[in-house]
Amino acid sequence: MFERKSAPYLFHGQTTSLCDQCLAPVPAKIVIEGNLVYYLKRCRTHGVRKALISTDAAYWKRTLDWLKPGDRPETAQTRIDLGCPYDCGLCPDHEQHSCLALIEVNEHCNLTCPVCFAGSSPQHTGTRTLAEIERMLDALVASEKEPDLLQISGGEPTLHPEILTILRMAKARPIRHLMLNTNGLRIARDRDFVRELSTLKPGFEVYLQFDSLRPEVHKTLRGADLTRIRQQALENLEAEGISTTLVATIRKGLNDDEVGAIIDHALEWPCVRGVTFQPVQDAGRNEGFEANSHRALLSDIRRAVIEADNPFGEADMIPLPCNPESISIGYALRRGRQLAPITGMMPRETLVDVLPNTVTFERYPGLRQRIFDFFSLSSGECNAPDRLEALLCCLPEVQVPADIGYTDLFRIAIVEFLDPHNFCLSRVKRSCVHFVTPEGKIVPFDTYNLFYRDAEAKARRAASLAARVVQMGG
C-alpha cells in the first residue's frame, strides 16, 4: 500500500528572518519538533539554515494569545521607503511605541566586557554634549509625549562628567520613570555620588549589571571579577534607599544555572525591586559567538525561574502583551524576603484589555484576599485605595490600599532581543525597547545594533540590502 511521506516536523507558519551569513531577508518556515520551535531559513546563496527559537513550544504558541493592539507613537521620524527593517526611525509602519527608551550619553567605559553590544571600552572616549542629549530627550518627548520609562545608558554613563545634570534634565521632562544603567563601579566607589543620586527619588531607579555570584562568570562576561564591586554597590544603594533592578546577562552553560540564586540574592536587599534577565544578544564585541550551542533562550530562563525555589509558577510568568514573544514578566507582592505572585491571579482578558485600565481588586476576590492576607491588613473595606502603577505601560494599574506602593512589589522580567539568528519581521515591528539616536530618530534595540549603531552597522545594512537583491534574483 502506498504510504505518504509525512514531514518530520509540524509546520506552524512562516515569517521573514535574516540569513545569518549574508544578512539578506529570507523566508523562514516556523516548525515545531516535539517541544522545540525552529526557524528553517532558506537563503539562495547559503542554503537552508536551522535556528532554535524556543525550547517550550506550548508557551511559545500561547504568547500570541496575549497580543493586544499596539499603542502608536505620537509621530514617525522616517518614511516607508526600502521596507522593514531598513527604514527605522520609527517609520509609520512600526506597530508599537517606546515602552522603554534608551539614551546613550557616552561610549567611554571603565570595563571592556567581552559581551558588550556597544563595543565600549576605556579606549573609546566619545562623550555626547549636553546640547546633543537635550535634543535626544526632546525627540523622545515629541515621539511619546509622556514617555513611560527612560534609561540613561552608555558606555558607562556614570563616567560622563555631567551625568547628574543629564539625569536632572531628564527629570525636568514629563518622563514617568527614569533609570540609570550602570556596571556599578562608580556606585561602589563614590558614596557622595550615590547621595546625589538619591536626590532624584522618587521615580528614579538604578539598573545594575549583576550577572552572577561567581567570579569566573564575571571574568568571562565582563573581563574582571566584579564580586566585591557588586556587593559594595548594593550596600551603597541600600544605604540611600535607591530603588534598584538587577540585570543579568545570561549565557547558556555559563550562568543559566544561577537564575534562582540571583533572584534569592536580590531578595536579600530591600532596595531591589526585581531582576531582569537578558540572553546575550549576538551583537557588538560578542558578535558571532551566540550560535545555537551557546544561546540561552527566553524559554530556558523562564523555565529556570519557574523551577527555582521561589513562588513564581507557570501561570505567573506571562508574555508582556505589547511584545509577547520577546518579553516575559511576573509581578509579586513583596514583604521582606517573602513573595506572593499576583500576575497569574488576573485573567488574561484583563491584562490585554485595550483600554488604559485599572484593575479594581474588588472585581477579583482572590487577588483582594492575597493582598489583604499578605500584608496582614484588616479585611474590612478599603477606604482609601491607591493606584499601583506597573512599570511597564501595557500592564494595568492595580488599585490597592493606599499604604501599599512600589517598594512592596518585586518584578521578574526576561527580555530577549533579536539578532540575525532569531530575527523575525513580525517581532521587530512590535519591538517596544528603542534607542534614541543623536539625530533624533527612534530605533528598535534589535535593529539598532544590527544596522544603525555605527559605521560598521551601517555597512552591514548596505551589505544586507545588496544581498536582498540577490535573493530577489536581481
Binding region for ligand SF4 (CB under 6 A): 84-85, 87-91, 93-94, 109, 111-113, 116, 118, 120, 154-156, 183, 428-429, 444, 447
Helix extents (H) in 128-277:
130-144, 163-171, 185-189, 191-198, 215-222, 227-240, 259-266
Of 271, 279, 277, nearest in space to 306 by CA: 277
Q: Which is nearer to ligand SF4, 85 or 279 (CB)?
A: 85
Q: Which is nearer to ligand SF4, 31 or 275 (CB)?
A: 275
C-alpha dist (Å) from residue 170 to 194, 249, 324: 18, 26, 29
Q: Tell me how far, at minimum, the Cβ of 233 lies from ligand SF4, in Å.
A: 13
Q: Which is nearer to ligand SF4, 281 or 447 (CB)?
A: 447
Q: What are phi and psi of 258, to 5 degrees?
A: -105, 5
**What b-and-e string marks burial along 298-333, b requiring 16 or more CB atoms within 10 Å of the CB?**
bbbbbbbbbeeebebeeebbbbbbbbbbbbbbbbbb
Q: Tell me how far, at minimum, the Cβ of 319 lies from ligand SF4, in Å.
A: 20
Q: Which is nearer to ligand SF4, 116 or 246 (CB)?
A: 116
Contacts for 200 with CB less than 8 Å, ≥ 6 apart: 167, 168, 171, 178
Q: Which is nearer to ligand SF4, 136 or 428 (CB)?
A: 428
Q: Which is nearer to ligand SF4, 117 or 204 (CB)?
A: 117
Contacts for 102 with CB less than 8 Å, ≥ 6 apart: 150, 151, 153, 181, 433, 434, 435, 436, 445
Q: Tell me how far, at minimum, the Cβ of 115 lies from ligand SF4, in Å.
A: 7
Q: Tell me how far, at minimum, the Cβ of 137 lies from ligand SF4, in Å.
A: 20
Q: Tell me how far, at minimum, the Cβ of 209 lies from ligand SF4, in Å.
A: 6
Kind of pairing between the strands at 385-388 and 25-33: unpaired
Kind of pairing between the strands at 327-335 and 338-341: antiparallel
C-alpha cell, 459: 555597512
Q: Which is nearer to ligand SF4, 234 or 345 (CB)?
A: 234
Q: Tell me how far, at minimum, the Cβ of 278 lies from ligand SF4, in Å.
A: 11
Q: Tell me how far, at minimum, the Cβ of 397 lies from ligand SF4, in Å.
A: 28
Contacts for 172 with CB less than 8 Å, ≥ 6 apart: none
Q: Tell me how far, at minimum, the Cβ of 333 lies from ligand SF4, in Å.
A: 32
In three-state secondary structure terms, 387 is strand
Q: Which is nearer to ligand SF4, 96 or 310 (CB)?
A: 96
| Block residue for cell numbers 549574508 | 22
Distance CA 330, CA 323 (A): 14
What DSSP assignment string belongs to 309-371?
Answer: SSS--TTTSEEPTTSTTTEEEEEEEEETTEEEE-GGGS-HHHHT-SS--EEEGGG-HHHHHHH
- Asked if omega into 73 is within 30° of 0 (cis), the reply is no
Q: Which is nearer to ligand SF4, 113 or 351 (CB)?
A: 113
Strand-pairing partners, residue 41, are: 28, 49
Q: Which is nearer to ligand SF4, 157 or 396 (CB)?
A: 157
Q: Tell me how far, at minimum, the Cβ of 446 lies from ligand SF4, in Å.
A: 8
Q: Tell me how far, at minimum, the Cβ of 106 lies from ligand SF4, in Å.
A: 9
